[in-house]
Amino acid sequence: MKLWGKYLYRMRGTVIWTVLAAICFGVMFALTGVDMRAVWYPLILIVVFGLGFLVAGFLRFRERHRTLQRILHGEGPYGEALPEPADLLEEDYRALVTSAEEAHRAEKDSWEAERKDTEDYYAVWVHQIKAPIAVMKVLLQQEDTRENQELASELFRIEQYADMALHYIRLGDDASDLVLQEYDLDGIIRKAIRKYAGQFIRKRLRLVYRGTDVRVLTDEKWLSFIIEQLLSNAVKYTGKGTITIEVNEKKQLSISDTGIGIAAEDLPRIFEKGFTGYNGRLDKKSTGIGLYLCRTAADKLGHRLTARSEPGQGSCFTIDLDSYPLQTE
Report the CATH number that the domain containing residue 316 is assigned in CATH.
3.30.565.10
**Res 320: pLDDT:** 94
pLDDT level of residue 228 (50, 70, 90 thresholds)? very high
Residue 314 located in a structural domain: yes
Q: Chain-wide mean pLDDT for the chain?
A: 83
Mean pLDDT of 238-243: 91
**Res 257: pLDDT:** 94
Q: What is the 3-state secondary structure (H, E, C) of 45-100?
A: HHHHHHHHHHHHHHHHHHHHHHHHHHHHCCCCCHHHHCCCCCCHHHHHHHHHHHHH
Distance between CA atoms of residues 104 and 111, nearest Å: 10
Q: Does 309 lie in the same domain as 190?
A: yes
**pTM (two decimals):** 0.64
pLDDT level of residue 28 (50, 70, 90 thresholds)? confident
Domain boundary among the residues 74, 90, 106 is at: 74
Q: Between these two residues, 116 and 217, which has the higher pLDDT value?
A: 217
**Res 15: pLDDT:** 80
Residue 101 located in a structural domain: no
Residue 163 located in a structural domain: no
Residue 278 located in a structural domain: yes
**Res 78: pLDDT:** 65
**Res 277: pLDDT:** 65
Which range among 25-29, 46-50, 104-108, 175-179 has the greatest average pLDDT? Answer: 104-108
pLDDT in tens, 180-201: 889 999 999 999 999 999 889 8
Residue 51 located in a structural domain: yes
**Res 75: pLDDT:** 60
Domain boundary among the residues 41, 74, 107 is at: 74
Residue 254 located in a structural domain: yes
Q: Does 197 lie in the same domain as 65?
A: no
Helix (H) or strand (E) holding 310: strand 304-310
**Res 244: pLDDT:** 96
pLDDT level of residue 85 (50, 70, 90 thresholds)? confident
**Of 33-42, 60-69, 75-84, 155-164, which range is least confident?**
75-84
Kindly report the number of other CB atoms within 10 A of residue 199's CB atom: 18
**Res 91: pLDDT:** 80
Residue 150 confidence (pLDDT) above 90: no
Mean pLDDT of 206-223: 93
Domain of residue 270, residue span: 176-320
Residue 125 located in a structural domain: no
**Res 137: pLDDT:** 84
pLDDT level of residue 286 (50, 70, 90 thresholds)? low
Mean pLDDT of 51-77: 80
Decide: 123 and 166 in contact? Cβ < 8 Å.
Answer: yes
Domain boundary among the residues 45, 74, 103 is at: 74
Give me the number of domains the chain comprises.
2
Residue 83 located in a structural domain: no
pLDDT in tens, 245-283: 999 989 999 999 999 999 888 898 999 887 776 655 555
Strand, coil or helix: 172:
coil
Q: Between these two residues, 72 and 185, which has the higher pLDDT value?
A: 185
Cβ-proximal residues to 262 (8 Å cutoff; 6+ apart), any chain: 270, 277, 279, 307, 309, 311, 315
Q: Does 180 lie in the same domain as 305?
A: yes
Distance between CA atoms of residues 144 and 16, nearest Å: 96
